[in-house]
Amino acid sequence: MPGHTIKVGNVELVSLSDGTPTRSPFMPFPDTTIEQWREFPGLLDSNDQISSRYGTVAVRSEGKLIVVDTGLQAPDGTLLDDMSRKGIDREAVDIVLITHCHPDHVGWNLTGGRPNFPNARYLVPRKDYEYWTQPQVLEGAEHITNQILPLNRLNVIDLIDDDYQVTGELTTVPTPGHTPGHISVIISSVGERGYILGDVAHNPAQAHYTDWCPIFDIEPEVSRRTRHRVLDMLESEGILVSAGHFPDPGFGHFVRGESRRMWRGI
């Protein structure tokens, strides 16, 4: 399906979606104004709502099939159907790589206690796992009980440390703040580079308003610093980005316009 597939060197990325709900921009970003949002007409619909895609991405690298994040599994979630439509066989998935343990990133790990990716190892950043499994955090985190802990009993989870080499072309990098153990993924193949952003940014408006932290950021000060550092680097080095919550298919670049940094989707 053209438009949903892109190459970075020899690595192939296929954009997948678990649905695209619309919501008030003030739900995730309560400290913003409608005037600020109107600076980005393409981001608001006719009811002044923004859309927030539950995006994931399938990656083919060195003969491995990797799925980065698994959506929300809401009752109307579309991820598994979208995978079939785009030719991604979930039985062929070798690795499920989780950027962080929010409910909309681990949702389809299992259904009814059975892995949806029956032949995959599930890689979870150790720091995020340790944060979410603290008793006082776990108490309010049903999604960890349902979508992460059963992976232990099934012996299919691997906790990964910083700068983990997923394949020779894919390396994780710590990008903390949104959650304490949040990671992104650097793609490097035959001289080309790409970056799977995770939730370092939730909305293209943050290309310019990089200080904006959605309410989901657990450590806003850390997340703000991380976002500035990462977006500055992606802009200055012109690296292709895959951004899960950005408009479909979520591929593009951070570029410098006349007066501000912008997201230029592909």
Footprint of Zn ion on this chain (CB under 5 A)?
102, 199
Closest CA to 174 of 200, 146, 143: 200
- One DSSP character per residue, 171-200 reads EEEE--SSSTT-EEEEEEETTEEEEE-TTS
Sheet containing 5-8, strands listed edge to edge, beginning at the edge strand earlier in sequence: 5-8, 11-17, 55-61, 64-68, 95-97, 121-125, 157-160
Q: Are residues 165 and 137 in contact, defined by beta-carbon separation less than 8 angstroms?
A: no
Residue 51: CB atoms within 10 Å: 17
Shortest Cβ 70–Zn ion spacing (Å): 13
The residue with its CB nearest to Zn ion is 102
Shortest Cβ 221–Zn ion spacing (Å): 17
Which two three-digit tokens encode residue 48?
Answer: 């002044």
Q: Which is nearer to Zn ion, 107 or 247 (CB)?
A: 107
Sign of CA dihedral 140, 137, 246, 225: positive
Q: Which is nearer to Zn ion, 167 or 250 (CB)?
A: 250
DSSP alpha helix (H) spans, the chain: 34-38, 79-85, 103-106, 126-132, 135-138, 142-147, 149-153, 220-237
Shortest Cβ 260–Zn ion spacing (Å): 25
The type of residue at 52 is: S
Q: Which is nearer to Zn ion, 102 or 208 (CB)?
A: 102
Q: Which is nearer to Zn ion, 72 or 80 (CB)?
A: 72
By CB neighbour count within 10 A (0-12 exposed, 13-18 middle, 19+ buried), where does 151 fall? Answer: buried
Shortest Cβ 7–Zn ion spacing (Å): 27
Shortest Cβ 203–Zn ion spacing (Å): 12
Shortest Cβ 178–Zn ion spacing (Å): 6
Shortest Cβ 239–Zn ion spacing (Å): 21
Cα pseudo-dihedral 241, 244, 248, 249, rounded to 10: 50
Q: Which is nearer to Zn ion, 65 or 148 (CB)?
A: 148
